[in-house]
């Protein structure tokens, strides 16, 4: 059975947004996953591999109780984790682009090339919005955690608005601030549910990995060969599993994009305006 096309430019309540998010993911599953595994996953994996080997190079002195500079080690390790950011940016850009292309074509028959062509134009705006949002969020945290959380939720749909709009950095953040006025708890609840859903799927997917790691760890303990091998084993397993785990948060990205369409429609009624224009256009009536 051919699935019914999903109208994105529509005002939705909380439950409708969740249902639409899951329906849209099912609808776009093939092109969405193909684009993620073809483009974002290799970059995520490269960042994870480099980060893991960097950590491994500093693991022995720490585990042996002889760290040369523990503060410097922690700092360098945190900095090396930034190598995963390009893959995360690609994941966000491609997921939002898939929704945008679907909205334009009103068809799930979209290619990886179409998603990439749309997504690559929004990479820089998304990176800019991400860094601005981070600065605003951290500024709020310097006051107290509550202001940081408040500011973070108010600007959280800045990136989706840039993806479905003209890509303007500051304009998208400004719109996010306006659109989420009076919608803070709805937005917060949506993010929480989507995040927990993504985490649950990641947890279920990771159960075999956890079991295998535990079995290997128990075996090493019984043979008395634990040493530094077991922590290294965990790092090696995580090196390949973490990029896959990261991709589960595509659910959260799609949900925020659907939420952005809903809030934009509530504020601007763009979908209604297009319908009125189509009715008034003689060519659209044959």
Q: What tens-digit pLDDT sequence spans the chain (286 residues)?
A: 345 678 898 999 999 999 999 999 999 999 999 999 999 999 999 988 888 877 777 665 555 555 555 555 566 666 666 778 888 889 999 999 999 999 988 888 899 999 999 988 888 888 888 777 777 766 665 666 667 778 888 888 999 998 888 778 888 889 999 999 999 999 999 999 999 999 898 888 777 777 776 776 666 666 655 555 666 777 777 788 888 888 999 999 999 999 999 999 998 876 555 556 556 655 545 4
Rounded CA gap, 238 and 212, in Å?
12
pLDDT of residue 43: 92
Q: Which residues contact 173 (CB under 8 A, 6 or more apart)?
A: 129, 132, 133, 155, 158
Which is nearest to 241 in space by CA: 187, 190, 203, 280? 203
State both tokens at 23: 């329906």
pTM score of the predicted model = 0.81
């Amino acid at each position: 059975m051919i699935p019914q096309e999903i109208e994105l430019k529509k005002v939705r309540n909380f439950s409708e947004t969740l249902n639409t998010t899951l329906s849209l993911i099912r609808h776009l599953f093939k092109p969405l996953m193909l684009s993620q595994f073809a483009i974002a996953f290799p970059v995520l994996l490269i960042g994870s591999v480099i980060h893991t080997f960097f950590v491994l190079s500093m693991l022995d002195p720490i585990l042996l109780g002889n760290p040369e500079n523990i503060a410097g080690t922690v700092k360098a390790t945190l900095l090396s984790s930034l190598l995963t950011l390009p893959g995360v940016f690609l994941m966000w850009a491609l997921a939002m682009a898939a929704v945008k292309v679907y909205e334009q074509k009103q068809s799930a028959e979209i290619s990886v090339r179409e998603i990439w062509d749309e997504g690559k134009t929004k990479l820089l705006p998304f990176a800019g919005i991400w860094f601005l949002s981070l600065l605003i969020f951290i500024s709020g945290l310097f006051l107290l955690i509550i202001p940081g959380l408040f500011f973070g939720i108010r600007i959280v749909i800045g990136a989706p608005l840039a993806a479905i709009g003209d890509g303007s950095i500051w304009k998208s953040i400004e719109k996010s601030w306006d659109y989420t006025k009076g919608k803070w708890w709805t937005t917060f609840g949506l993010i929480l549910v989507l995040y927990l859903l993504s985490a649950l799927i990641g947890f279920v997917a990771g159960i075999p990995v956890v079991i295998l790691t535990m079995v290997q760890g128990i075996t090493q303990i019984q043979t008395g060969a634990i040493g530094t091998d077991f922590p290294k084993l965990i790092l090696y397993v995580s090196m390949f599993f973490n990029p896959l785990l990261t991709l589960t948060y595509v659910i959260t990205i799609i949900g925020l994009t659907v939420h952005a369409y809903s809030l934009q429609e509530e504020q601007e009624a763009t979908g209604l305006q297009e319908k009125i224009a189509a009715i008034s256009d003689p060519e659209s009536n044959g």
